[in-house]
Amino acid sequence: MMLLEHDAKMLLAAAGLPVPAGRLVRRGDIAGLPALPLPQVLKVQVPVGGRGKAGGIRLVREAGDLATGLDELLGMEIKGHRVQACRLERAVDFVGEAYLSFTLDAGPGNIRLLLSAQGGVDVEDPSTRPHLLSAAVPADPEALRTAIDTLAERLPDGVRGAVTEAARSLVPLFFRYEALLLEINPLFIRADGSWVIGDTKLAVDENAFPRQRELAAIVRDNPDLYPEAALKLDQGYDYVPLDRDGDIGLVTTGAGLSMQLIDELVARGRRPFNFCDIRTGQFKGDPARLIQVLERIAAGPSIRSVLINFFAGHTDLGEIARLLIIALKSVPQLQAPITARMIGNGLDKARAIIAEAGNPVLIETDLERAIDLAIARAENAHA
Ligand code: GDP
Ligand code: MN
């Protein structure tokens, strides 16, 4: 997952790197803002690049610009992400914008090192991308430092020192946080040759969260900014929204099986609303996960059908059906027909429980037929 610029910059600042002073601003924080010296920049915090070109960065020249800027930016949608917060920081005066990044290349287990004297917003766009110096480096801090020195020899005199120093000072952070990507773009170069972190992309691996407590805490403390990751941390299950106008909601267990289901639906021209790996094996008698997922699906504006796929190994379908009925009762706003492919241990008990509840769920044991039914029911609902 991508950390927001603000959180990544806080980590860099804590490690002693030069980051412009700044803070995170949510709606409602505006009144209590301490005055930062002007000019400032206001930057939307969404986990994607290209915010500048998308209108998500504003210069605050005078105090009055702040409220207007925040009002315009908060709630905006940038590349499919609703803006919940902005970073307000001191604007930097610079003479150049350089670029540097380390990317973990998981296949060969290397780090891709990229450097350029010409960073800035044009790097994001393939048609305007400047030349980037590139090297594949073994995933080792000392090797990375050596590669930085070697590659930087090909940079122009004016920026070589700054880029080398900045890149070298980022090496320990890349390893400490087990990062997948650490990009600085722009690395602002000032008239006196010094450098400042302009923008940071730090992608981290959620699978490392059990030992990366600091990263996990960022997510846990800001569930509004990292809804998917926070849900996964707290609930121990995966849920990813796919298509806001999707018409089939999925309540599925097993990541591979769930992805396969999504592929099949897409291949048949449907628009799945979400990915889900609810991990039925870990319900432990609690319908909370089911309720949360059903609530999210119910909130989809175009939902016409819900497809459940529970493949029970050691889990008991009777128990799952019991929880499902409780969950459905607590999400009455979910009106779409529900088709459940259930197979395995306790199926007869599950059938009995669902029948007793008045058959709010249509059970089908064959996966292909369950998909057919869910699609047919979505189409009927459209008619
Ligand atoms: P991105 O578009 O999401 O990559 O956001 P960036 O933080 O990289 O900002 C995009 C561009 O906005 C930068 O390349 C700069 O040209 C400009 N910008 C950002 N911060 C400042 C600042 O403090 N001062 C000035 N003068 N320009 C800035
Ligand atoms: Mn940038």
pLDDT, mean of each 10-residue run, the chain (383 residues): 98 97 89 80 96 95 90 92 95 97 92 96 85 95 98 96 98 97 98 97 92 93 91 82 94 92 94 93 88 95 96 86 97 97 93 96 95 94 60
Would you say 325 and 351 are in contact if contact means Cβ atoms under 8 Å apart? Answer: no
Our CA dihedral for 88, 94, 96, 102, rounded to 10 degrees, sits at -40
* Token pair 């990915």 in the structure block, residue: 275
Residue 205 CA to residue 177 CA, distance in Å, equals 9
Given 189, 204, 219, which residue is the final one in a domain?
A: 204
Instruction: Give the integer Cα–Cα distance in Å for 323 and 291.
Output: 9
27 Cα to the center of ligand 1, angstroms? 22
Q: How far is CA 264 from CA 130, 182, 191, 343, 369, in A?
A: 40, 35, 57, 19, 12
| Helix/strand/coil (H/E/C) assignment for every residue in the chain | CECCHHHHHHHHHHCCCCCCCEEEEECCCHHHCCCCCCCEEEEECCCCCCCCCCCCEEEECCHHHHHHHHHHHCCCEECCEECCEEEEEECCCCCEEEEEEEEEECCCCEEEEEEECCCCHHHHCCCCCCCCEEEEEECCHHHHHHHHHHHHCCCCHHHHHHHHHHHHHHHHHHHHCCCCEEEEEEEEECCCCCEEECCEEEECCHHHCCCCHHHHHHHHHCCCCCHHHHHHHHHCCEEEECCCCCCEEEEECCHHHHHHHHHHHHHCCCCECEEEECCHHHCCCCCHHHHHHHHHHHCCCCCCEEEEEEEECCCCHHHHHHHHHHHHHHCCCCCCCEEEEEEECCHHHHHHHHHHCCCCEEEECCHHHHHHHHHHHHHHHHC
Query: Is 49's C-beta closer than 6 angstroms to any atom of ligand 1?
Result: yes
Return the ligand 1 atom nearest residue 41 CA: 23
- Provide the pLDDT for residue 383: 52
Our answer on whether the CB atom of 120 is closer than 6 Å to any ligand 1 atom is yes
Among protein residues, the one with the nearest Cα to ligand 1's atom 7 is 199
Do 304 and 285 lie in one domain? The reply is yes
Ligand 1 pocket test target in 199, 200, 201 with most atoms within 8 Å of CB = 199
Same domain, 305 and 185: no
Query: Whole-model pTM?
Result: 0.74
Among 30, 63, 91, the domain boundary falls at 91
Same domain, 261 and 334: yes
Distance of CA 121 from the midpoint of ligand 2 (Å) = 6
Note whether 191 and 241 are same-domain residues. Answer: no
Please tell me whether residues 43 and 116 are part of one structural domain: no
Do 86 and 187 lie in one domain? The reply is: no
180 part of a folded domain: yes
Q: In terms of Cα–Cα distance, which of 335, 377, 383 is closest to 360?
A: 335
Alpha carbons within 13 A on the beta-carbon side of 155 = 26
Given CA atoms 328, 294, 209, 9 in this order, what sign does their dihedral have? negative
Bridge partners of residue 114, in order along the sequence: 101, 134
Separation between Cα atoms, residue 242 and residue 252, nearest integer Å: 14
Query: Are 71 and 107 in the same domain?
Result: no
Beta bridge partners of 112: 103, 136
Q: Which atom of ligand 1 is nearest to 5's Cα? A: 7
| Identity of the amino acid at 178 | E
Q: Are residues 244 and 350 in the same domain?
A: yes
Q: How far is the CA of 198 from the centre of ligand 1 (A)?
A: 7
Question: Residue 206, Cβ neighbours under 10 Å: how many?
Answer: 17
One domain for residues 258 and 330:
yes
CATH number at residue 177: 3.30.470.20
Which domain CATH number covers 33?
Answer: 3.30.1490.20
Q: Which residues pair with 189 in a beta bridge?
A: 96, 195
Ligand nearest to the CA of 189: 1
Q: What is the CATH number of the domain that holds 337?
A: 3.40.50.261
The residue whose CB lies within 8 Å of the most ligand 1 atoms, and thus the one to mutate among 12, 38, 41, is 41
Indicate if 158 and 84 belong to the same structural domain: no
Residue nearest to atom 19 of ligand 1 (CA): 198
159 and 58 both lie in a single domain: no
Say if ligand 1 is within 6 A of residue 121 CB.
Answer: yes
198 C-beta closer than 6 A to ligand 1: yes
76-110 as b/e: b if 16+ CB within 10 A: eebeeeebbbbbbbbbbebebbbbbbbbbeeeeeb
What's the number of domains the chain is made of? Answer: 3
For ligand 1, whether the C-beta of 41 sits within 6 Å is yes
User: Is residue 45 a part of any domain in this protein?
Assistant: yes
The pLDDT score that the predictor gives to residue 29 is 84
Q: Which domain holds residue 378?
A: 236-382
Structural tokens at position 327: 């969950």
Same-domain status, 84 and 114: no
